[in-house]
Structure 1
Amino acid sequence: MNSPDRLLDRPIRTTDRLVSASTWEHGGRLWPSNEQLTLTCCRVIDETHDVKTFQFCTEDGLPVRFEPGQFMTVSARVGERAVERCYTISSPPTRPYLLSITVKRAPDGVMSNWLHDNMKPGTRLRAYGPSGRFTPIDAVAPKFLFLSAGSGVTPLMSMTRASIDLGLDRDIVFVHSARTPSDIIFRNELAHLATLSPRLRVLSVCEGLGDEPDWTGPTGRLSLKFLQECVPDFAEREIFTCGPGGYMSAVRQLLHEGGHNPDRYHQESFNFAEEVASQAVEPASDAAQATYTVKLSRSSRSFTMSASETVLAAAKKAGVPIPSSCSQGICGTCKTRVLEGTVDMNHQGGIRDREVQKGFRLLCCSRPTSDLLLDL
């Protein structure tokens, strides 16, 4: 997993140069993904009619290390409910004194609506440290293609900003899809960045014209024909994609049809709509229908659960509050020590080997294979 402490383990590799880790050590800090800090909002920027960027600094003003494309998990109390959500850091690691998240207001978005309605300069917010593997740090490639839709532009913006700040002059084609021209996030900044690097090409594809009937850019949806015409060498490029699930499924399909090597394809997404429901699976065997008892060492509470459920899903059904966010084994928020018993854990990089050796497990992607005693 690309956790922040890797910046001390080795140099930061970019396509065109090596940046010594000591560059980040002086005056900086490690911020583990399972530890919370208090951030203070410095500025709120209106990006579009329903998208805002929130800029934060740490309470002590020290810079933070992370990799472009990583996310952090923010926490807030919304009414009587404690809510945690993952947001990609849209600012680049080359500007470590400011951490930005860019958030689209969603009709049923508990956290996004709270941020839009309450966050202002001086407001404090708790957050877990940067995490995630969606980063080009280990992608040794001469050419890149960034594909995004909606607020999925944020990790790719961090990558692009970092490339420009470092003067790398990478060969990047950045294709962003939006509903209308007025919905293009970072529209003016992307145009400006393209003037700073002759090998950065920015294209925006809009489904409709909206209130800009004079829009001269491409309209419709991203298609194989569009890529073949506008990015004819797309099959040779390392591709990073972020956006809604339907968009990314369509992208994978058209890239497959276009002969792109899937080993050079990377994507990132978070889906919280089915946070708990998606964690239960249909029993596939008699073993999956077994039930186990889970005891909590600190509160002396207990509950029973099926072997087909994740521990997190079962705990929530039992009314046991456990911090969680991505529910995909990525962010590390639900990391908990298993004092007794065994689980089958299938994570996506949200926990390090040395943490596993110490008995920690990610409850969102762990299913019991015996009775459990948890350090909760």
Structure 2
Amino acid sequence: MSTPADGALWGRADQQDYRSRVRGCLLGGAVGDALGAAVEFLSWAEIRETYGPEGITDYAPAYGRRGAVTDDTQMSLFTVDGLIRAHVRRDTGAWHPPTDLHAAYRRWYTTQREWGPDERRPADGWLARQEWLYAQRAPGRACLSGLADEVMGTLEQPKNPDSKGCGTVMRSAPFGLLVGWEPHLVFQLGVECAAQTHGHPTGLLAAGAFAAIVHALVRGDDLDTAVQKALVQLASRPGHEETTDALKQALGAVRQGLPSPERVASLGEGWTAEEALAIGVYCALVAEDVRHGLLLAVNHGGDSDSTGSVCGNLLGALHGDTALPPAWVAEVEGRATILELADDFAMEMTQGPALHGPADSARVWLERYPRG
């Protein structure tokens, strides 16, 4: 796929391909998240005891239903919302995407503290009015504490400076969908927004690397090439060693024999950012198809929903939404919202100037994505 820069004209085929990859990335992440939700806190032995020798092979009840997603998908959707609103607010002359992302994550934080949407806050936009998002699905402690007040964490003064939990990685795939941006800017934005909840260099850099990998996939690279490009970016960053080593271990594991839960376990459990990234990358690299990759990513004793989500983001961005298992897509929680948001994002990135500008804007778009 060719990749027009901001403001360049997109051909119809390019728009369709891009929309499919955006849909695939967001839906794939949600499907992987939902597959892992039922086994997130189980050991591999407990998973086999409960679901059989092959482990979990389909959605299982979690949070009261099959196909339930967790905070991973919730926060990823608010990342998308924040990115759209950053581009809309650009019309006012204000351009600081981390501020818009912080506001979006604060809207997610509100969903974890209130019973449902408040119609008296139209500035929250349409995503924050989706009632199904007002559910607590084991949100990460660092994400909650980092967003508990209005002070935005920055690289100079990050929130939770010693934390490198996977809460940075699991929400950062949408940065990679900024296909018109330069790779180093995508990486940097992922890093800066990770600092809003986690401050350890590994937490920051794993998020940036994940965004960069997704970005390269959407631009048409294969996964191995995308990882190699991320490693080049990492090499110049202070404190990159843990993230670099984890990605190199993932690449090395591909050559060590047939994929297995034991091979996945050799990369860690996924609770930390670099481990979740490495497991997701490894499972996507060895995947025979999307179904195989996602089941491999969730069948281990660790943070199965996050590793499934990361793997799903990667495979969806690589292959597009039509490669995802239809039955899983049909049953995943929030599918209609995810598709609507994905299509809005693709439309904003490819046709934004036709939707809004300093002089004239479509009223419906500003109601969905207010400039405030």
TM-score of the alignment, normalized to the shorter chain, above 0.5 = no
TM-score, normalisation: structure 1: 0.31
Greater C-alpha radius of gyration: 1
The one of the two structures with greater contact order (alpha-carbon pairs below 8 A, sep at least 6) is 2
Indicate the structure with greater strand content.
1
TM-score, normalisation: structure 2: 0.31
